[in-house]
Amino acid sequence: MRWLLSAFLLALSSQCFAEPTQVQYLSGVDKDHRVDWDFQVNGGRNAGVWKKIPVPSN
């Protein structure tokens, strides 16, 4: 039982020192400074057509 308490406290203490989450964009600096990527549509009326999409994007 004591080892279980030790393991729990160790896990809890490691959570306290976790680094904050950072966002890293694949291209561009942020949502206001995007870069156009070539994107191939894979369904619908434009299937197989290449388009440009801003990255980061949805």
Residue 16's region, left for phi above 0, alpha for psi from -120 to 50, else beta, is alpha
Tell me the domain boundaries of the chain.
34-58
Cα dihedral 42/44/50/54 (nearest 10): -90
Nearest-angstrom CA–CA distance, 4 and 10 = 10
Per-residue pLDDT at 3: 74
Per-residue pLDDT at 34: 82
Residue tagged 């809890």 (tokens): 12
- Give mean pLDDT, residues 36-42: 87
Helix, coil or strand: residue 48: coil
- CA 20 to the chain's CA centroid: 14
Per-residue pLDDT at 17: 64
pLDDT band at 49 (very low <50, low <70, confident <90, very high): very high
Q: Is the pLDDT at 53 greater than 80, yes or no?
A: yes
